[in-house]
Amino acid sequence: MATRDLKTVPTDVPLTPDNIDRLAARAAELAAAFKRKIGKLQQQVADASGNINRDAQGIVQDADPADRAAAHRLAKNKANRSIAQFRRNIVASSHTDRQQILDQFAKTAADAEFQLCSHG
């Protein structure tokens, strides 16, 4: 996505139905992009959680029957730590992408506010 200078607001943009429609379309496009991005991240977390939980179940099933209760506790704790770490990592690694979309939302909102304030 192209970067935008959020410090400049055009002063010669007339408040017309076309410009309002353009801003609304841009906001809808950004909302859809953000929804897709968040959906992909949620799917990655769900997939990782499923894999981690399957691995934990395998550990329990492979344990001797007498040791299964202890294996279950250990596997559950390990799975919870792994899922929490995966979530922290994915939040950190996706920060820039998410911030870019949110910055574009801010620009679109500023454009809309400018048009309303300058012509209202």
Which tens digit of pLDDT belongs to each residue from 40-52? 999 999 999 999 9
Output the pLDDT for position 6: 46
Output the pLDDT for position 94: 93
Share of the chain above pLDDT 70, in %: 82
Output the pLDDT for position 65: 92
Place of tokens 């809808």: 28
Helices (H), the chain: 17-62, 68-93, 95-119
Contact 79, 52 (CB under 8 A): yes
The structure tokens listed for 5 are 């200078």
Candidate from 58-72, 88-102, 104-118 with smallest mean pLDDT: 104-118
- Under the banding of pLDDT at 50, 70 and 90, the label for residue 7 is low
Which tens digit of pLDDT belongs to each residue from 19-41? 778 888 888 888 888 899 999 99
Q: Decide if pLDDT at 3 tops 70.
A: no
How far apart are the two ends of the chain, measured CA to CA in Å?
31
